[in-house]
Structure 1
């Protein structure tokens, strides 16, 4: 090649270099411009915003705005509890519920002693996410069949449910009174079943008239709702259920559509431990097995506080769903109970203490080893607590760590796809971000958040987080504005 040819080739290579550089700068500028427009929007004049997007291939920041500002992030918090469960417990870890007896079964089939249900924190037991509708309590039939095979025909003692290894505290710090009586505010316990909820059926009449409570399922002895729900010209459920954990005195407020023969509203179950004892008691009675001294929960019966399982006989063990299976629904449908259950499993696995405080200590140790946790505050596993404080950098650091984990693909499979599935099914629908973003969303009053991964139209792999607090428009309107930033990343 002569000198002129070499110069031509050099000029061509330089042209390509600057062309690619210019394209990258323009793409980066498009994200920064979309972000700038979002920040300057009048609805965000008093808002707290934290944003960061990084290139997973080289770890470099592409665009950011107050990335270290730790603020309330709602359900994107679930990324921390699910990631920690994958890493600390393993994708195939399964909790179990065990049944013990503390006496002998004689030749007449009489159990000379008590029957204990020992909770292991399984949140999948009788859950609608793992059962066909109407079959959620079929596990009880399976338990009864197992006991019948042991030859038990009569129990001379009591049936005792024990979830004490996970404590009996109320709810995690920062949970709102307006949430805890509703189904999505049901805390995880040592014994959980039927998603720890009750279904309250209302009958409504003409607009302006008070509704009537027709039934509650499962039937909870002594449960009473002070009913202030009225019929109105509304299209959906505008009612709320209120009540403290373990309390049977509750209230119902709000409005429901008029002239409905049956309208179902879901609330939190007051005491799943006691309720499970009752449901098994009824299932045993239906099978002809009587329990002489009835059913009890350890929380309300100090008589059984000195029980020793090492001196009892384990007669049955029921294994729950795996971490991977539970985490899938946790992130896809944003199931608060499952997130709290995964969190509590971590503390229980490492210390035998499944309380939220113990479990958060274990997660914090894990995070401190793997990401910069300065400014990070976690009070629960679900994001229902407004006391959580998480920055965009905390999220992208976690997402970067998980992208290199042996659990990376399993973790990513739990995340909804923009415009396609779960809580993101309507996000970026028909736009550039559809199918290119997988992320966890977060929504509580005045808070909107997204955090996850992007595979852009040019093949780049990104991790991002965007959270805004205290915007002055509707949730739908803030999402419309956030989509412009998300679409810009998808086109990077």
Structure 2
């Protein structure tokens, strides 16, 4: 087996071969863990391999003996990134149940179910309600099919009100989301009104260097985008940075400051009513895909429904409005369902969330579990508290943690490796939650580990099943690993403070290096 050593080790250390199973390096004390062979081995290897510049937090638990075998900074609070989704998955399963699904319904108020006898020459005079539930998987086609049921009844004109109804609160982003991520689809707003992930797609293509580029948006979506961005040649005649004075050789500028490469970036500015402006420049001539997050989901839903009614040949007299869902008994007694759309059940939603690291599903589920727990619309703060309380009820104490969202996008999230390990052990030990381990990405096979460097080839391929957590400065991994000694291990590897420059220079990610050493851990 080849152990890929990071560039932070010395040249002499790079000569060590995997045949040296027990390096002759003094081991450091391990808190609360006996000095067993596995712990000594992993501690010795960590002293050899740990990076210089970033901060680590590690804990390893033997699934066979059901004991912790290794800890390193396991009580340090760190940013979890998308490893946070493990907490969301467990809490959602506990609170919502495996049968949970989102419902989007088309309703009206009437004494009896709506049928063609209540339509006069294509005109229906009653009010129409489109009840949104925050379904993060609702598509244009799903919505079109719902509205199409009006055409099936023979309706060509609506003279009553058309109202978009929901129960959820209006907080669209969690505290701690990075502001310049908000126009990108992986940080789409969390709203009761979600259509096609609240994301629109397009492409930016060149008309030639230093000319205004062309934007093509897909699907004729109700947004307005202007553009003065342009493409530039990948090479220029002069260095980007010129020293103001002649420097001695010893103080010469590093190569990354003097490379002859244009310095360019694109900037997306967001305005009200889902208006955008793209500016700046991009190096090269290859067209770029665009994925732009909707700024105002409510207005977007109103405009989308207006366009879909028009395409169905249905006119209406009044503007489309939004209201809070009425749950009063008198209202509910008269409520008649015209058509309904149901999302996949919770296990399928969680599978997508964990495999693809879907932020929208994670944060929609967090808000939903808060709403169900409190029986009232819930914002991120209350939903985070609900998550803590739900997990405490099954033996997980998060009193020292900070929960800002369900996806891990927020920089305010703080967890220890021990917090995450407690989640994994509950999932493993309690049969009703064990299915969650089967939903994790498999190295070299599925999800975010399918193409991940060093995980998509031997010796890690097929042996690691884990949730990734990646953001600027963060490279985390948590799940289980199968090793050659016949045991399976749950593990949590947190690495924070990883600069882009160091990450680019690494021969292999630290998580891959450490897990490769685990493949030979002694019994």
Same fold (TM over 0.5): yes
Partner of 1:250: 276
Q: 1:276 aligns with which of 296, 301, 324?
A: 301
Give the 3-state SS of the residue equivalent to 1:321 in structure 2: coil
Give yes or no for the alignment of 1:35 onto 2:46: yes
Q: 2:503 aligns with which of 467, 475, 478?
A: 475
Give the 3-state SS of the residue equivalent to 1:470 in structure 2: strand
Kept in 1, the 8 Å contact 2:228–2:280? The answer is no
Moved more, 143-152 or 101-110: 101-110
Distance 1:169 1:433, change over 3 A: same
Kept in 2, the 8 Å contact 1:205–1:258? The answer is no
> Could you tell me how far apart the structure 2 residues matched to 1:93 and 1:399 are?
22
1:271-316 C-alpha deviation (Å, 9 max, x unpaired): 2333233323322222222122243344xxxxx7989652443322
> Could you tell me how far apart the structure 2 residues matched to 1:177 and 1:330 are?
23
Kept in 2, the 8 Å contact 1:182–1:241? The answer is no
1:333-381 C-alpha deviation (Å, 9 max, x unpaired): 1111111112122122232324323322221111222212232111001
Partner of 1:58: 65
1:388 to partner: Cα distance: 0.3
TM-score where L is the length of structure 2:
0.78
> Could you tell me how far apart the structure 1 residues matched to 2:519 and 2:344 are?
34
Kept in 1, the 8 Å contact 2:93–2:433? The answer is no
Kept in 2, the 8 Å contact 1:417–1:439? The answer is yes
Kept in 2, the 8 Å contact 1:371–1:398? The answer is yes
Give yes or no for the alignment of 1:78 onto 2:78: no
Distance 1:57 1:276, change over 3 A: same
Taking the TM superposition and a 5 Å limit, the aligned residue runs for 1:446-457 are 446-457=473-484
Taking the TM superposition and a 5 Å limit, the aligned residue runs for 1:21-420 are 25-39=36-50, 41-42=51-52, 44=53, 47-102=54-109, 105-126=118-139, 137-163=140-166, 165-215=167-217, 217-221=219-223, 223-225=224-226, 227-228=228-229, 230-233=231-234, 239=266, 241-243=268-270, 248-256=274-282, 258-259=284-285, 263-298=288-323, 309-310=331-332, 311-350=334-373, 351-369=375-393, 370-420=395-445
Kept in 2, the 8 Å contact 1:86–1:411? The answer is no
Kept in 2, the 8 Å contact 1:159–1:281? The answer is no
Distance 1:141 1:190, change over 3 A: closer
1:67 to partner: Cα distance: 0.2
> Could you tell me how far apart the structure 1 residues matched to 2:391 and 2:312 are?
49
1:387-441 C-alpha deviation (Å, 9 max, x unpaired): 0001100011100001122344421222111222221122433333221111111
1:225 to partner: Cα distance: 4.4
Partner of 2:22: none
Distance 1:381 1:410, change over 3 A: same
Kept in 1, the 8 Å contact 2:59–2:74? The answer is yes
> Could you tell me how far apart the structure 2 residues matched to 1:139 and 1:306 are?
23
Moved more, 472-481 or 49-58: 472-481
Kept in 1, the 8 Å contact 2:274–2:294? The answer is no
1:49 to partner: Cα distance: 1.9
> Could you tell me how far apart the structure 2 residues matched to 1:476 and 1:344 are?
36
Moved more, 306-315 or 453-462: 306-315
Give yes or no for the alignment of 1:431 onto 2:458: yes
1:466 to partner: Cα distance: 1.1
Any unmatched runs of 5+ in structure 2?
A: 1-34, 236-263
Q: Structure 1 or 2: larger helix share?
A: 1
Kept in 1, the 8 Å contact 2:210–2:230? The answer is no
1:199-250 C-alpha deviation (Å, 9 max, x unpaired): 23323133343323343645225x344644544539xx96453437x65343
Give the 3-state SS of the residue equivalent to 1:329 in structure 2: helix
